[in-house]
Amino acid sequence: MEQVKGLEYSELNAEELVAFIEVRAKLNAIKEERNCRRDTICIWGDAGIGKTEIVKGLKDRGFKVRAVNPAQMEEMGDFTGLPVEEYRDVHQCKKCGAIYENNNITKCTAKDCKGELKETQLGTTVMLPPAFIPKESGPGILLFDDFNRADIRIIRGTMQIWQDYGSYAWTIPKGWTLIMTANPEGTDAGYIVTSMDPAMLTRLVHVALKPDVKAWARWAENAEVDTRGINFLLKNEELATNGNRTNFRTWTQFFDFTKHFVPKIPTVKNPKKDVFDIKKLDEREMEVINFIYRHGCGSIDKECVTQFIMFVAGEAELIIEPEKILNEFDDKIRKHLQLMGEE
């Protein structure tokens, strides 16, 4: 799949991506033992298909996860840290100015000096690392989210971090793997992103995420998303990522609304014998449909809103629990789905 013009990367589903990250994290651990540089992963993919959520979900697989959005950074100082002075007690010769950190010395040992020493403090400028840089050891994931939406100055300035896992002022602790997410480049992709040159790209290990409805459905069920919505996308996978506005993120946004504000959509009693016809609805039922439509169009394409309403209104009696579809796809459920698909 071409995410950067002229380059193609492996396209993985959600489960494959998790396995890919775990292997690269293990490889980084091996490289650390050999004092070699760790690899940084870049996950490419369209907006709203779950890149960030998949990475954050690795905390359930034993990883600590920290995330930062580089596009929010205005200056490289946001990455290198804040300069502060640290002071330590020393002795200084009153005569020649020589510094001694050994408190047992009472006179200057410089040749032909032998001057008296006085107690003083010596200041040194050090850099305090940013708060998002972990202090504890891993296993962990440090996520630079939507990385190629950052200004080119930030991208250039952080190249050392991708490669060396640190800056001149601090180091990312052992056991951590750096992951970046990015949207595709090029005018055809439609994203306002910063292009990266070969010197940048070759510092990264690349992979692309493809939409995975079943993986989203498993996540959605755990997140208690509207069951009707999960059923709808399992039945209509082609609508999961449809156009510029409709993706898993915006569908979830819409289903949050339907779950809490639309407990019931007007339906027909027997969808096998009577096709749903909006003209048959009374005034109160039409208000419900318009209510759903107005809010739905705020998140997803209007055609998708219409398809969802038609699905729930016309097939509500045949809807099965998503868990059964995902985990118990037996003959009975297969017949159930076939019945839903018949016109």
- Of 306, 291, 283, residue with least CA distance to 258: 291
Looking up tokens 């069951």 gives 227
Amino acid identity for residue 180 in this structure: M
Contact by Cβ (8 Å): 239, 212: no
Contact by Cβ (8 Å): 64, 139: yes
Strand (E) or helix (H) holding 24: helix 14-33
Two tokens, residue 76: 């490289």
**Structure-model confidence comparison of residues 59 and 107, the more confident one:** 59
Question: Strand 99-100 relative to strand 205-209: parallel, antiparallel, unpaired?
Answer: unpaired
pTM: 0.78
The predicted model gives 76-81 an average pLDDT of 84
| 187-221 residue pLDDT tens | 576 889 999 999 999 999 999 999 999 999 999 99
* pLDDT exceeds 70 at position 82: yes
The predicted model gives 45-65 an average pLDDT of 94
β strands within the chain, DSSP E:
2-4, 7-8, 11-12, 41-44, 64-68, 82-93, 99-100, 117-128, 140-144, 176-182, 205-209
Q: Which of 17-21, 52-56, 75-79, 254-258 has the lowest mean pLDDT?
A: 75-79
Which of the four pLDDT bands, split at 50, 70 and 90, describes residue 151?
Answer: very high
* pLDDT exceeds 50 at position 337: no
| 135-149 residue pLDDT tens | 999 899 999 999 999
Give the span between the Cα atoms of 56 and 138, in whole angstroms: 15
